[in-house]
């Protein structure tokens, strides 16, 4: 039975301000049941969104989200919070545009301010070939009805006055792909919004619960795992849970979970580092991305500059930051914006990315009945969170891959039908 | 910083070399089925622990060699030529 959710409103804010009463907890910490209709592994944006849409759109509320740490502690809390839909392939464009729509109505639907700021998105071109790819992307985007166009350096300067658009730099700015609907969202709020809404609909959020094995029967591999088998449950550090459906939403750890079901993935795990400066007066009105310089930057509402880069070349599960990263980042950022040379970095961190060979996700049904994947999101998982949740929920509820994710199923690797999205990855990899 | 022992050039910062990923056995191209070949091309074990992987000494002797690395800690052992 769904509980009545606590509504946030201006009236409640005044009431709590005057009475100094405690706000109710955003979600509960239930005891695990012995069985669920669906168990979702991974309590980030993707897992929570899948749980929310399963409960809301398909009436499946006997669902558990199991998370080995705390909600939003992985990639969902470590990304640089940029959203956009100016991708290179029609498949990618259709997918991410739906995600942007969902982000746009999210604050209303989840009754939580996710601070979605559609401030525009600039992808800088420093070479003729990059400029050509921008034109290509702009045309693909326009054909799909996405607001996207190539602008010249003077217009770039108008959009982001702090950029150095002179011709004397090592990587002169020759133009940019301008995408006005792109922007930034507060990523923690998205996690909390989905968690709270899913909890109100009856979904169990089981934190500090680590899956140690996926129980299968009938498969070709050892212990009934692998192709042709079906899922019967999961083993966790808090006991076994029986379930006919398991969803893998674990980003950087996706291979480890998937190997438990005997489904090898085309994924390698790489850390991606990011950093944030001390806050200052807002001077950067748009999101700026430079592929050649391996950097993207935006300024939060608090005034901090948030920098991201490409993934580290060495695949590892270790998430410590490196000096090489900050050195390189500083050099590249100062080339774009010489005026910020006196700013200090506040902190740097790193998150794990599940990289696929074609820079596209692996989603939907697998060769094991009842085992679903929503992985391979690499460096672009956050911006797809809502639509991934929506389409995965449909896939789980109907047992068939939703139309939007059909190009992204795992069978594309055995059939040799990869999706070429590398050209539109945020920065060169 | 990860220090990798090149069999020719000795200990080098990993940024001097190119990691080529985990060692996957290459099937015989003349007899392998399409699915075996694509499994070799794309699917990876990607473990969090000891893995045997290939590195390329990009800025040094340009030799390919294998090492063992723990992907959870980045500890390295057994530098050897293939």
| CATH number (domain holding residue A305) | 3.30.9.10
Is residue A363 located within the same domain as residue A348?
Answer: no
Question: What is the C-alpha to C-alpha distance for residues A2 and A198, in angstroms, rounded to an integer?
Answer: 10
The residues near A208 (Cβ < 8 Å, ≥ 6 apart) are: A67, A68, A69, A70
Is residue A162 located within the same domain as residue A66?
Answer: no
Counting other chains too, the contacts that A163-172 makes at CB distance below 8 Å and 24 or more residues apart are: A163/A124, A163/A288, A163/A336, A163/A337, A164/A335, A164/A336, A164/A337, A164/A338, A169/A335, A170/A335, A171/A126, A171/A290, A171/A292, A171/A293, A171/A335, A172/A126
* A312 in Cβ contact with A271 (< 8 Å): yes
- pLDDT, tens digit, 9 for 90 and up, residues B18-76: 999 999 989 999 999 998 999 999 999 999 999 999 999 999 999 999 999 999 999 99
pLDDT at A417: 81
Domain end point (choices A310, A330, A355)? A355
* A83 in Cβ contact with A420 (< 8 Å): no
- CB–CB of A414 and B35 under 8 A? yes
Asked whether the predicted pLDDT for residue B79 surpasses 50, the reply is: yes
Is residue A153 located within the same domain as residue A224?
Answer: no
B5 to chain A, any CB pair closer than 8 A? The answer is no
Q: Which CATH number goes with the domain that contains A196? A: 3.50.50.60
On whether residue A405 sits in a domain, the answer given is: yes
Domain end point (choices A314, A335, A355)? A355
B15 to chain A, any CB pair closer than 8 A? The answer is yes
On whether residue A195 sits in a domain, the answer given is: yes
ipTM above 0.85, yes or no: yes
Which structural domains are found in chain B, ordered by start? Answer: 3-80 (3.30.2270.10)
Closest in B39, B44, B74 to A255, CB measured: B44
The mean pLDDT of B7-28, rounded to a whole number, is 92
B42 to chain A, any CB pair closer than 8 A? The answer is yes
Is residue A288 located within the same domain as residue A163?
Answer: yes
- CB–CB of B45 and A357 under 8 A? no
Half-sphere exposure of A42 (CA within 13 A, CB side): 29
- Mean of all residue pLDDT scores within chain B: 90
B33 to chain A, any CB pair closer than 8 A? The answer is no
Minimal CA separation from A91 to chain B, in Å: 21
Closest in B19, B38, B43 to A315, CB measured: B19
pLDDT at B2: 87
pLDDT at A19: 92
Q: What is the domain range of residue A47?
A: 29-84+88-94+188-266+359-424
Domain end point (choices A355, A390, A408)? A355
Mean pLDDT of each 10-residue bin along chain A, 429 residues long: 70 91 91 97 97 97 97 94 88 87 94 94 94 92 94 96 92 96 95 96 97 96 93 96 97 96 96 95 94 91 93 91 91 94 94 92 95 94 94 96 91 83 49
Is residue A227 located within the same domain as residue A243?
Answer: yes
Is residue A162 located within the same domain as residue A217?
Answer: no
Is residue A40 located within the same domain as residue A173?
Answer: no
On whether residue A102 sits in a domain, the answer given is: no
How many structural domains does chain A have? 2
Question: What is the C-alpha to C-alpha distance for residues A183 and A285, in angstroms, rounded to an integer?
Answer: 10
On whether residue A110 sits in a domain, the answer given is: no
Half-sphere exposure of A19 (CA within 13 A, CB side): 9
Q: Which chain A residue shows the shortest CA-CA distance from B19?
A: A314
pLDDT at A341: 93
Minimal CA separation from B82 to chain A, in Å: 20
Is residue A261 located within the same domain as residue A309?
Answer: no
CA dihedral A331, A336, A341, A343 (to 10 degrees): -100
pLDDT at A359: 86
Residue B48: its chain A contacts at CB < 8 A?
A: 253, 256, 269, 317
Ramachandran assignment for A326, one of left (phi > 0), alpha (psi -120 to 50 degrees), beta (any other): alpha
Which of A309, A316, A323 is the best substitution to test chain B (most B C-beta atoms within 10 A)? A316
pLDDT at A415: 85
Is residue A350 located within the same domain as residue A367?
Answer: no
Instruction: Name the DSSP class of B17.
Output: S
Asked whether the predicted pLDDT for residue B78 surpasses 80, the reply is: no
On whether residue A18 sits in a domain, the answer given is: no
The residues near A236 (Cβ < 8 Å, ≥ 6 apart) are: A32, A66, A206, A209, A210, A211, A212
pLDDT at B82: 45
On whether residue A63 sits in a domain, the answer given is: yes
Closest in B38, B41, B44 to A267, CB measured: B44
Residue B46: its chain A contacts at CB < 8 A?
A: 255-256, 265, 267-269, 315
Give the number of other Cβ atoms within 10 Å of residue A364's Cβ: 21
Closest in A265, A324, A414 to B15, CB measured: A324
B54 to chain A, any CB pair closer than 8 A? The answer is no
On whether residue A315 sits in a domain, the answer given is: yes
Q: Which chain B residue shows the shortest CA-CA distance from A268?
A: B46
pLDDT at A429: 37
Interface of A with B (CB under 8 A): 253, 255-256, 259, 264-269, 313-318, 322-324, 357, 413-414, 416
Is residue A330 located within the same domain as residue A382?
Answer: no
Is residue A378 located within the same domain as residue A349?
Answer: no
Closest CA to A29 of A207, A238, A240: A207
Global confidence as pTM: 0.93
Is residue A206 located within the same domain as residue A324?
Answer: no
Closest in A256, A266, A313 to B19, CB measured: A313
């Amino acid at each position: 039975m769904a509980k009545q959710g606590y509504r946030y409103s201006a009236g409640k804010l005044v009431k709590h301000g005057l009475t100094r009463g405690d706000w109710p907890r955003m979600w509960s910490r239930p005891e695990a049941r012995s069985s669920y209709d669906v168990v979702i592994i991974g309590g980030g944006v993707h897992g929570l969104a899948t749980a929310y849409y399963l409960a809301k759109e398909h009436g499946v509320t006997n669902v558990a989200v199991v998370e080995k740490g705390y909600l939003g502690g992985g990639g969902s809390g470590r990304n640089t919070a940029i959203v956009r839909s100016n991708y290179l392939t029609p498949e990618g464009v259709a997918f991410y545009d739906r995600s942007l729509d969902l982000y746009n109505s999210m604050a209303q639907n989840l009754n939580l301010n996710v601070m979605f700021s559609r401030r525009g998105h600039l992808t800088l071109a420093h070479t003729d070939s990059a400029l050509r790819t921008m034109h290509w992307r702009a045309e693909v985007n326009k054909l799909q009805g996405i607001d996207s166009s190539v602008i010249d350096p003077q217009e770039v300067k108008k959009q982001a006055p702090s950029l150095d658009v002179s011709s004397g730099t090592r990587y002169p700015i020759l133009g940019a792909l301008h995408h006005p609907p792109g922007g930034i969202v507060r990523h923690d709020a998205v996690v909390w919004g989905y968690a709270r809404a899913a909890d109100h609909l009856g979904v169990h959020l089981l934190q500090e619960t680590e899956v140690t094995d996926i129980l299968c029967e009938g498969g070709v591999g050892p212990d009934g795992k692998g192709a042709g088998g079906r899922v019967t449950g999961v083993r966790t550090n808090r006991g076994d849970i029986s379930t006919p459906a398991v969803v893998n939403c674990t980003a950087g750890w996706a291979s480890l979970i998937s190997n438990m079901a005997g489904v090898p993935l085309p994924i390698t795990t790489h850390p991606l580092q990011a950093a944030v400066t001390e806050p200052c007066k807002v001077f950067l009105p748009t999101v700026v991305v430079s592929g050649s310089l391996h950097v993207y930057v935006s300024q939060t509402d608090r005034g901090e500059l948030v920098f991201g880069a490409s993934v580290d070349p060495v695949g590892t599960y270790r998430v410590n930051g490196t000096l090489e990263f900050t050195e390189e980042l500083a050099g590249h950022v100062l080339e774009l914006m010489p005026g910020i040379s006196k700013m200090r970095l506040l902190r740097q961190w790193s998150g794990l990315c599940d990289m696929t060979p074609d820079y596209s996700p692996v989603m939907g049904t697998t060769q094991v009945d009842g085992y679903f994947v929503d992985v391979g999101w690499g460096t672009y998982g956050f911006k797809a969170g809502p639509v991934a949740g929506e389409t995965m929920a449909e896939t789980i509820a109907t047992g068939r891959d939703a139309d939007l994710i059909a190009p992204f199923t795992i069978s594309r690797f055995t059939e040799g039908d990869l999706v070429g999205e590398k050209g539109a990855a945020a920065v060169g990899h | 910083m990860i220090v990798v022992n090149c069999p020719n050039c000795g200990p080098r910062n990993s940024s001097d070399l190119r990691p080529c990923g985990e060692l996957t056995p290459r099937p015989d191209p003349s007899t392998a089925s399409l699915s075996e070949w694509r499994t070799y091309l794309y699917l990876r074990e990607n473990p969090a622990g000891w893995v045997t992987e290939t590195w390329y000494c990009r800025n040094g002797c340009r030799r390919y060699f294998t090492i063992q690395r723990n992907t959870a800690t980045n500890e390295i052992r057994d530098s050897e030529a293939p």
